[in-house]
Structure 1
Amino acid sequence: MLDFMVIGAGVIGLAIARRLARAGHEVVIVDTADAIGSETSSRNSEVIHAGIYYPTGSLKAQLCVSGRKALYRYCAARAVPHRQCGKLIVASDDGQRAALQALAEKALANGVEDLQVLSVGAARSLEPALNCVAALLSPSTGIVDSQQLMLSYLGEAENAGAVLSLRTPVVRGMHKGNRWLIGLGGSQPDDIPVRTVINAAGLEASRVARSLGLAPDRVPTTHYAKGNYFTLQGGKPPFSRLIYPLPEPGGLGVHVTLDLAGRVRFGPDVEWVEAIDYAVDAGRAERFYPAIRRYYPEMADATLVPAYSGIRPKLSRDPRVDSDFRIETEADHGAPGLVCLYGIESPGLTASLALAERIASGLGVLPTQEDAELFHV
């Protein structure tokens, strides 16, 4: 009987599989796609978040802060491309000063201890193209090559004996005795006996949970929040750091992100969709210009071109609700040997190692010394 089946080969599923396999367990990772991390994990800002925005005491806050520290250590030790470039969160007018101060206080309560309050002069000395009345500098924010990170997680999992099976959807599941019998699509005709199943299917987590026989009232609804990104074309990049406005309902606002080559992207916006569709409507750029010009007034017309989009799995469409990560076990859904992860959106990439540690420790799986040291240096 297989020890663990991880459903989902995104950054979270791969991190969990890596952690379990390195502890000496037999692990199989299955995914419906033909490549790892082809959805949310590779369609995002690739930002290593500091842990500023999330409700104090939430899983997002806790796992972002611990995960960020572990992720920097992991990337440095394994030469995963990344850069601790820092970011500025800006108040564009005097009416936003109080909100900026409240954000600084929330960050401190979350354990983000290096945030700096900057005057307009200090902010513009760092980023001369910036328009603001005040700003917060987050030195511990950075960027990472998400694809290389996932390849690193997968490589370490496979080196420890884990097996990846792509184009392998989960079509059914039943718990019987002390095991799960998992029916897979693709070339596998027989049900696979598994001791513990981990549903890390991201956008499809709710559907997978229902396919495993969970009662509908035990499965939260996953809503799709599409975020579109546009690339700035022409000229020298105006910023060397990430630039964020104050958060807006449903997201962090249209912000400046950089890739590791220094290219500038703007996004994401929030577009609620009913089905997965990654096409970017070029016309949405017209909504970006006024938002960007609040902090970058020299933004020229007709300089944004569609880049890509991503879809975030949200547990609420109410902009007043700060939905947290949900990690559900038998105590929540009634099915033994099953862990379901719902609503793993930002800062999931940053928190990937910490989420894996939380899942593994909850299952009683002790870490290797090297993995323990990622969190206790």
Structure 2
Amino acid sequence: MTERSASPATGIAVGSGIRRSFRRSRPIRAAAHVSIRQRSLWLIVLLATLALLVAASVAIGTRDVSWSDIWLALSGQVESIGQAAVTVRIPRTLLAVLAGAALAVAGTIMQGVTRNPLADPGILGVNMGASLAVVVGVVWFNIETAEAFIWVAIGGAACSAIFVYTIGSLGRGGPTPLKLALAGAATSIALSSLVIAFVLGRNDIAGGLRSWQIGGVGGATFERMEHVLPFLAVGFAISLLSARKLNALALGDDMAAGLGERVAFARTAAAFGAVLLCGATTAICGPIGFVGLVVPHLCRLLIGIDHRWLLPFSAITGACLLLLADILGRIIARPSELDVGIVTAFVGAPFFIWIVRRQRVRDL
């Protein structure tokens, strides 16, 4: 009796599995057929938008400055109030670009790793975990150096991510999108309450910590950013190198393993890159929410779901979004300003509701 005739049921099962795998892989193949011309066109549009927003960020604020002042300030002259304003806005603009790109890439990674359309550093409690770790470090251990802030924030982000994923994995069905979203929301609320409890007991530092907790890019300096750049560089590198692994994970764990991918290692490596980006960004900017939720969905509408394209596009779009939020915050509340954390919350909350209604909390 031949092997083929000995196990017809197995052959039917294998054939059905291949057909199911093919149907699940069709979206990735369809995304791969998005023309290079379309992607290149969108890339040009996004880069042009980013350049315009960078120029607007330098020119717009509580005091508008002329292009001559901008040019003179860029050449090193600080002889007027306008030129001094430009020298302050340049590091702020750079920080907004880096933070927006980092949070958007982290959100894309988290959605790919968990296959959850609601995944986001803020919604899954990662940002709040980093925030609590920093607050505990300041209140109990009196940390002051930038390096200590970054390491503590990354450790808190990692612990929170592991906790949420563990809680969301309990019970039948494993880590479903709904359970992860609920676990992340509950964890964020609990950690936020702990942050308030710790801060209330220290009136001497409460004002600074509360301002930092809102999330913003004001007060940025090149000296502060020097410490965070290596962590962001490593996080971006790991995330971009995980693109092919995320494409394999999108086919399902069984299919990814059948293609020779080490599923556990792929998830851990990609998640580590996202944690680095979240922790480092939170350490210097505070917890900024919804950027990692909004941007990946917008980019998928433009260029498909291939992570080799999605991650770079998310970085550029995230930088544009956070820059735009920072500019709007300066315009809306003149002569004062709104921190970007407030503006992104106004944008992200309705988008979150729309995603829930549209996706019905399905897997990616």
Task: Specify the TM-score bucket, using the shorter chain as the normaliser.
Answer: under 0.3
In proportion to residue count, which structure has more helix? 2
Q: TM-score with structure 2 length normalisation?
A: 0.24
Q: Which has the higher contact order (CA 8 A, sep 6+)?
A: 2
Structure with bigger gyration radius: 2
In proportion to residue count, which structure has more strand? 1
Q: TM-score with structure 1 length normalisation?
A: 0.23
